[in-house]
Amino acid sequence: METTGLFKSSMRFFSDQELCYADILTPQEALARIQVAVLNFLRILSSSTPAISNLPLIDRSSNNSRVNQGILTDESWIFLSHSFSTRSLMRANAAKAFVRVWKLMEMCSQILLQEKRVTQRELFYKLLCDSPAYFPTQLHVNRTIQDVVTLLRCSRFSLGVMASSRGLVAGRLLLQEPEQETVDCAACGSSGYAISGDLDLLQKLTLKTDARYVIVIEKHAIFQRLVEDRVFNHIPSILITAKGYPDIATRYFLHRISKTFPHLPIFGLVDWNPAGLAILCTFKYGSIGMGLEAYRYGMRGDDVQLIPQESLVSLKPRDLQIAKSLMSSEILQENYREELTLMVEGGQKAELEALYHNGFDYLQKYIVKKIIQFNYI
């Protein structure tokens, strides 16, 4: 697309206030949106009645559950909410946030012009050196990136910002980066293979498998145990963990697995507590069409009988807070709601490690039991 075409496309974008998604853009398209945002700002300042407009940003409060429905899809949209908030230079409590948006857009312009990509951590140190009064902590950078994404309606990856990935994969999967040797994820040891934070690279991976299942594991320690036991030799599977709440790169990698091998059922292995269910929901609803199947997740209420009573733990205020947030979400499906209700009414939770009461090799037997339960043998 020529520069003029990019400019006109961006002008049409900013004239449409009903858009509720973020595009996946090329560097040239992202630069065009930044330039139009600046021109719009200057146009207002130079008008006969100059004023500084508010920045219309999508509301990311906990009450706005639609924000959770966001990441890459085959249609290249990241879905965002319809509800808006603002950043204003005229309000004392929002003035610095207003300035941060423009400073970060300036930095993203430099990154895109140089055809580079940076992690959020690298971006923080650059902004800390250039504008310490505005970016004293990583949190300020993270929040401003979200502001810019919701102002320009494009993904952070489109702005040259890579996801920092904690994800690991192991098991019956061969993957190959462009012009690189094939990696056998079954031969990477108990540490597994590190999932790249470069979403463009993840998109270009060549994937092959003879697995029959995908198992998404909440905890790194459980992942290591299953890899050390080479559970994927007994249960032909691909094992994936994000070491807790999933980052964007791990979620996208699972999305790729799901789309490349749509016949593979995906199981979640998480604690029976509100946080475990929240992690599952992040995988499931955080990526449209990712394919994490309903009902097939870790421990459930009827599994509590498998562990001794003394292994159950009382719910803490944080657990109740997470449960309340999940219950208020319109996207939470009914069977998840039933599990949450069971947890809250019983006032107890259970961790996957409690299953070791039945022996250190029990997790593999437990997974087989679940696969049989859902008729996938």
Encode pLDDT of 156-165 as tens digits.
Answer: 888 999 877 8
pLDDT at residue number 307? 64
> Which range has the top average pLDDT, 86-95, 115-124, 324-333?
115-124
The pLDDT of residue 296:
40
Name the nearest CA neighbour of 294 among 322, 253, 335: 335
In 3D space, the residue among 219, 208, 151 whose CA is nearest the CA of residue 174 turns out to be 208
Question: Which residues make Cβ contacts (< 8 Å) with residue 59, sequence separation at least 6?
Answer: 67, 81, 83, 84, 85
Sorted by where each starts, the structural domains of the chain and their CATH numbers stand as 16-162 (1.10.10.10), 168-373 (3.40.1360.10)
pLDDT value at residue 57: 63
pLDDT at 183 over 60: yes
CA distance 276 to 265: 19
Q: Mean pLDDT lowest for which of 12-26, 146-160, 254-268, 269-283?
A: 12-26
pLDDT digits (tens, 9 = 90+) for 119-170: 889 999 999 999 999 999 999 998 899 888 888 888 888 899 987 788 999 9
- pLDDT value of position 302: 63
Q: Could you say which of 21, 125, 356, 362 is catalytic? A: 125
| Residue 125 is a catalytic residue | yes
Most confident range (mean pLDDT) of 6-20, 86-100, 136-150, 204-218 is: 204-218
The fraction of the chain above a pLDDT of 70, given in percent, is 75
Question: In the prediction, which pLDDT does 151 show?
Answer: 83
Sheet strands (E) in the chain: 21-23, 55-58, 77-79, 84-87, 118-119, 161-162, 168-171, 174-176, 183-184, 193-194, 206-208, 213-217, 237-241, 266-269, 313-314, 348-349
Instruction: Give the residue, 135 or 98, on which the prediction is more confident.
Output: 135
